[in-house]
Amino acid sequence: MSMLDVKAIQERSDRHPKPSDIKFQYGTAGFRTLGKTLDSVLFRVGVLAALRSKKLDGKTIGVMVTASHNPEPDNGVKLVDPRGEMLESSWEAHATILANAPDSVAFVAAVDELVQTSKIDLSIPARVVFARDTRPTGPQLIAALKDGLEAIKAEYRDAGITTTPVLHYLVRTINTKGTQDSYGEDTEEGYLTKISDAFKKLLAGKATPPPLLIDCANGVGALMAEKFKAYLGDAFSINLVNADIHTVGALNNSCGADFVKVNQKLPPSITLQPGQRACSLDGDADRLIYYYADEHGQFHMLDGDKITTLVASFIVELVKAAGLDEQIKVGVIQTAYANGSSTKYLSGRLPVKCVPTGVKHLHHAAEQYDVGVYFEANGHGTVTFSPAAQELISSCKSSNLSQSATLTQLKNVIDVINQTVGDALSDAFLVESVLAHKSYSGVEWDSLYCDLPNRLVKVVVSDRNAFVTEDAERRLVSPLGLQAKVDELVRRYEGGRSFVRPSGTEDVVRVYAEAVTRAEADELAFRVAGLVYDEAGGDQSRRPKEFL
């Protein structure tokens, strides 16, 4: 077993001193805060990614520098494991420890301890692929990351400026190249070709859909959407708005998936004609929110829950039509944020499981099914197919022409989906495929079920760790007695439902509420938020005031 080059690591670490006043935490989205404070974190993530690769016998680890839907001054970084999935949760703690070592000496000691306790063979080569979004702080943070990789002599590949889903795709394809589990070509062109070819095959023989308006959040998704245009040719037209990646401050500013979901309205830069449908990506193109204007020009949102019901129902139909419904079981995974109406609609058709918030929980649960469908209400999601299900669909032959055609459709559905992570553009093409096959407009899609009005309120607290949940984050265990007060409030509202959960990344507590009317959902949310604020002992002048 080789030894750490302590001198090289320490010297390079000294170039990236940790700010003494900040405690970093690897949360559900990795590290995420103001970009200008992350220099030391990126250096240390470089070292950590290399160690993770060595631990996994030299498999390639991914590093994505992005802050997704956050404001432009923020930035962040997350690690991607070999199959394109999120970093194993036990290593999140290692990331937090390394990021918070107060100085270079302490950092080297922490690295050494990780090597010893995890039994990492340092003689194994380390391989890392990384990419970034369009944020102004990206280049400096990538330079710090490379310093960390070079300090530990890792091989690395710079995938440049690209979307988070492309980085996940690259990690998976690099690690499966030349194997029977090959996921595709390990290039951006391979990604574009695989998805666009499958999409065009799914549209073949169908009426050409009207052009789709895509709000790119003035982020990196604009670059990828523009590239897809060339690959799709005349088969499908997309019109891009909010595609300005050069104007400082434009990223996610009054546009994008998060803006539409939180505000439940169109970005001010978009006007829809009656009957027109459109969608919004977020800043790194891993979230998707659809919407349309009805015949009166009124806005209607089609969020992750609506995408789940559309996609899951379609896949169930295909599996049944292919004669595989006895061998392939389709399941849906949701979080507590899923609209109650969507859960009710789906539960009558297929298994539905609720898990804690966070992609890693959803993705892991999805992989327990032959076909697992998950889309968080915020628009982040995908569909996973087990190796056995893929093999069965791939090898199945039928003399029945209808069944044979359905099997081909299923194969194309598998290829149009980026199974590694939520992918806004891939998901949009999947949605468009379903709409084309069902001859649905936005109105017909929306009418599958009617959303219960809901409201999300954020409460700033001094210590989010004081709030502990159970039952997939639907009930509070601590502070003691608070859940009983929430239950008492909920009972006063027809169709009422509310839950309280701490954020995974900042000292805030999120309160979600549903009821049969908009006014009651708002009122319930703010009353529960008031309970949370009082329990946290907050400054009464900053207590949520609406409806209280």
Residue 436: what are its φ and ψ, rounded to 5°?
Answer: -65, -40
Half-sphere exposure of 531 (CA within 13 A, CB side): 24
Q: Report how far residue 152's alpha carbon sits from residue 459's, in angstroms, rounded to the nearest whole number.
A: 42
Q: What's CA 66's distance to the chain center, in Å?
A: 12
The first and second tokens of residue 371, run together, are: 């076909």
Strands 212-215 and 60-65: unpaired
Q: Where are the alpha helices (DSSP H) in 439-517?
A: 442-446, 482-490
Beta bridge partners of 289: 280
Half-sphere exposure of 502 (CA within 13 A, CB side): 20
Q: Report how far residue 546's alpha carbon sits from residue 400's, in angstroms, rounded to the nearest whole number.
A: 62
Q: Report how far residue 351's alpha carbon sits from residue 313's, in angstroms, rounded to the nearest whole number.
A: 12
Q: Report how far residue 128's alpha carbon sits from residue 124's, in angstroms, rounded to the nearest whole number.
A: 13
Spatial CA neighbour of 378 closest among 339, 414, 350, 347: 339
Q: Report how far residue 425's alpha carbon sits from residue 74's, in angstroms, rounded to the nearest whole number.
A: 23
User: Hey, which bits of 191-310 come out as E strands?
Assistant: 212-215, 238-241, 277-281, 288-293, 299-302
Q: Is 462 a catalytic residue?
A: no
User: Hey, which bits of 397-521 come out as E strands?
Assistant: 454-460, 468-470, 475-478, 497-502, 508-514
Q: Report how far residue 108's alpha carbon sits from residue 155's, in angstroms, rounded to the nearest whole number.
A: 20
The first and second tokens of residue 380, run together, are: 């982040």
The first and second tokens of residue 234, run together, are: 């005349």
392: Cβ contacts below 8 Å, ≥ 6 apart: 324, 327, 328
Q: Report how far residue 169's alpha carbon sits from residue 188's, in angstroms, rounded to the nearest whole number.
A: 9
- 539: exposed, middle or buried (Cβ count in 10 Å: 0-12, 13-18, 19+): exposed
Q: Report how far residue 144's alpha carbon sits from residue 146's, in angstroms, rounded to the nearest whole number.
A: 5
Half-sphere exposure of 138 (CA within 13 A, CB side): 21
> Radius of gyration over alpha carbons of the chain, in Å?
24
The active-site residue, picked from 40, 53, 68, 280, is 68
The first and second tokens of residue 44, run together, are: 């240390």
Q: At what angle do helices 188-203 and 424-438 cross, to 10 degrees?
A: 10
Q: What is the DSSP letter of 175?
A: H
DSSP 138-155: HHHHHHHHHHHHHHTT-E
Catalytic residues: 68
